[in-house]
Amino acid sequence: MTDTRHDILEHITRTPEWDVLVIGGGASGLGTAVEAASRGYRTLLLEAHDYAKGTSSRATKLVHGGVRYLAQGNISLVREALHERGLLKRNAPHLVHDLGFVIAGYTWWSAPFYGIGLKLYDLLAGRLNLQASRYVSAAEALQHTPTLKREGLRGGILYYDGQFDDSRLAITLLRTLEDHGGVALNHAPVTGLLKEGGRVVGATLRDAESGQALTVRARSVVNATGVFVDEIRRMDTPDARPMLSPSQGVHLVVDRRFLPGDSAIMIPHTDDGRVLFLVPWHDHVIIGTTDTPVPETSLEPRALPEEVQFILDTAAQYLETAPTRADVRSVYVGLRPLVKNENTDGAGSTAALSRDHVIRVADSGLITLTGGKWTTYRRMGEDTVDRAARLAGLPERLSLTPGLHLHGWSQEPQADHWLVYGSDAAHIQALPGADTPLHPALPYTEAEVRWGARTEQARTVEDVLSRRTRALLLNAKASAEAAPRVAALLAEELGRDEAWQAAQVAEYRALAQGYQL
């Protein structure tokens, strides 16, 4: 196989200056890069690890307005998110679909109370609304969610939000960026910022595979590294005050039998005042999430025992048969890049901190984008590129992304997990190994590993099992058992030896251990 990474490095070396350099390959970085490239700006994105390696692959898998933010009175954020939810469903129908959510009522007042709130939710979505919310009887609630606790059930509300696959959207954005002439490189950490006369004019990076150091120049530099933005800001201003109060959200993945039927369950008020979701996803069920302030950010955050227990206890209050620790196939944790209130020291609960995105421009011209959530990634990118273009004096160009079909756009129904590839699915199914499963407990095939290596910049076993496929999240133990075969296929595609394969398998298995209880 020819390795495309060599060509990407060549391209980077040959380009004297970029219009927009984006640091960070998660939701905000990819959204910004697609926005810039689709406007015709010369765009380069650099990612230290892999696309969506951090928070952007560990969401609750919902494209939603945020019922919780409605309760907090943040109407503008909810309206914006619901608008973006509608656009994303139109622009990536292969990745986003409607999902019904049942809010079960066990008191006389709960259904009317939540019903009124969700009518407002529908209204705020306007003509991009998915489906109208409505009252359901106890019998109908059980039709949608058969495992719901029956005793005392008086009925409920059924409302609709969007569901997606987060890291598959990230890879789709990577492909969309490339379709529009943008360039992206993963496993390429930025090691420093290039400054002239106090202005940031580029960055230095290291190719993690070869160790090669490169320098890139750019008219504007965007720091979109999510929960790690403060690290890049300190490269610019060593004494920069931290912007973030990160908090972590834990999710448990269990078998589908705990939530058969066609709908999710939304628990509107847990003991700690949050909402909790039980969501069918890739023939499994995700239960989450928590909101625990964390003192520092890490690439592989871990669930605290009390967080796991809290999720299991809360689910048990609403399910006839509730999962136990033994039923958990995988546990994963995402960090929220919550922006501190500038007037406080950031102490206290993070649950009240806003999920609005924030753009800050340093004296050096470094643009930092953080906060926000997957649902509003496009709007975040649009706002950031508007700011970058003005600052850098780039030719003014209109945003095309509100109606931009993302790579693989397709409305063709596909069987099960092939859907996330959209129009690429047929090409993958034509590759060798399309009928050979990687593991009996996983839906993925050998062809998907080859496709990931050839077209999606998959470089490691983790890239394949965690983010090109979702094996790590669906069943951490099975994914560890599939690792040797994935390593062998990647070695074949990328020209690696047996020592590399052994190291990859050991590294991946150590990682997967942390996703098991």
CB 97 within 8 A of CB 412: no
pLDDT score recorded for residue 416: 76
Q: CB within 8 A of 221, min separation 6: which ones?
A: 21, 23, 193, 200, 201, 202, 203, 365, 366, 367
Strand locations in 258-356 (E): 263-267, 276-281, 284-288, 292-293, 330-336
Rounded distance, CA 411 to CA 420, Å?
11
In this predicted structure, the answer to whether residue 506 has a pLDDT above a threshold of 50 is: yes
Q: What is the DSSP code string of 374-427?
A: GGGHHHHHHHHHHHHHHHHTPPP----GGGPPPTT---S---GGGGGGGGGHHH
Task: Please tell me which residue, 270 or 353, carries the higher pLDDT value.
Answer: 270
In this predicted structure, the answer to whether residue 441 has a pLDDT above a threshold of 90 is: yes
Q: CB within 8 A of 44, min separation 6: which ones?
A: 12, 15, 18, 20, 21, 22, 182, 183, 184, 185, 216, 218
Q: What is the DSSP code string of 485-502?
A: HHHHHHHHHHT--HHHHH
Mean pLDDT of 254-260: 97
Number of Cβ within 10 Å of residue 394's Cβ equals 19
Rounded distance, CA 500 to CA 440, Å?
25
Rounded distance, CA 153 to CA 151, Å?
6
Confidence of residue 404 (pLDDT cuts 50, 70, 90): very high
Mean pLDDT of 262-288: 93
Confidence of residue 67 (pLDDT cuts 50, 70, 90): confident
In this predicted structure, the answer to whether residue 342 has a pLDDT above a threshold of 80 is: no
pLDDT score recorded for residue 348: 47
Confidence of residue 345 (pLDDT cuts 50, 70, 90): very low
CB 225 within 8 A of CB 255: no
Rounded distance, CA 242 to CA 255, Å?
40
Domains of the chain, start order = 4-55+168-243+340-403 (3.50.50.60), 87-162+245-336 (3.30.9.10), 416-513 (1.10.8.870)
Rounded distance, CA 455 to CA 457, Å?
6
Residue 411: strand pairing partners: none
Find the distance separating the first CA and the last CA of the chain, reported in whole Å.
Answer: 39
In this predicted structure, the answer to whether residue 58 has a pLDDT above a threshold of 80 is: yes
Length of the chain in residues, anyone? 517
The model's pLDDT over 74-129, given as tens digits with 9 standing for 90+, comes to: 899 999 999 999 999 999 999 999 999 999 999 999 999 999 999 999 999 999 99
pLDDT score recorded for residue 347: 44
Rounded distance, CA 414 to CA 412, Å?
6
Q: CB within 8 A of 23, min separation 6: which ones?
A: 29, 45, 46, 190, 203, 221, 222, 223, 224, 225, 232
Rounded distance, CA 76 to CA 80, Å?
6
CB 193 within 8 A of CB 216: no
Rounded distance, CA 433 to CA 385, Å?
41
Token pair, residue 491, equals 């070695």
In this predicted structure, the answer to whether residue 415 has a pLDDT above a threshold of 90 is: no
Percent of the chain predicted with pLDDT > 90 = 90
Rounded distance, CA 433 to CA 421, Å?
16
- C-alpha closest to that of 5 among 367, 495, 376, 481: 495
CA distances (Å), origin 128, targets 79, 81, 168: 11, 11, 23
Residue 23: strand pairing partners: 46, 223
Confidence of residue 356 (pLDDT cuts 50, 70, 90): confident
Q: Residue 23 corresponds to which amino acid?
A: I
The model's pLDDT over 196-244, given as tens digits with 9 standing for 90+, comes to: 999 999 999 999 999 999 999 999 999 999 999 999 999 999 999 999 9
Rounded distance, CA 106 to CA 124, Å?
27
- C-alpha closest to that of 16 among 178, 202, 193, 192: 202
